[in-house]
Amino acid sequence: DIVMTQAPLSVSVTPGESASISCRSSKSLLHSNGITYVYWYLQKPGKSPQLLIYRMSNLASGVPDRFSGSGSETDFTLKISRVEAEDVGIYYCGQLLENPPTFGSGTKLEIK
């Protein structure tokens, strides 16, 4: 199975500042079709996960453009610009290149 490793475990951010979350995969997530199959999800407290970013850098519907995704074949970054209080929760990266789909262990974002 592909292992997804996230860092840091938690991050505390002042409102208005930026935050970055890293994710590394144990094998390349770049398909021969040119698509990189890494995804980012946010689980707000007491809620279901929601999709933020698909195929490494595409913003999901309704997600503010303060969120952005980037990376290479195995190293990925979720950046949140101008963090707001509503951004608190646990962020997960996931790979959907091959079965079984796997997720990172999560990064908890808190507000200072």
Site residue total, another protein (CB under 8 A): 22
Complex with another protein: residue 33 or 61, whichever CB lies closer: 61
Query: Does residue number 71 form part of the binding site for another protein (CB under 8 A)?
Result: no
Query: Please, are residues 70 and 82 in contact by the beta-carbon 8 Å criterion?
Result: no
Query: Does residue number 99 form part of the binding site for another protein (CB under 8 A)?
Result: yes
Query: Does residue number 76 form part of the binding site for another protein (CB under 8 A)?
Result: no
Binding to another protein, residues 36-55 (CB under 8 A): 37, 39, 41, 48-51, 54-55
Query: Please, are residues 107 and 8 in contact by the beta-carbon 8 Å criterion?
Result: yes
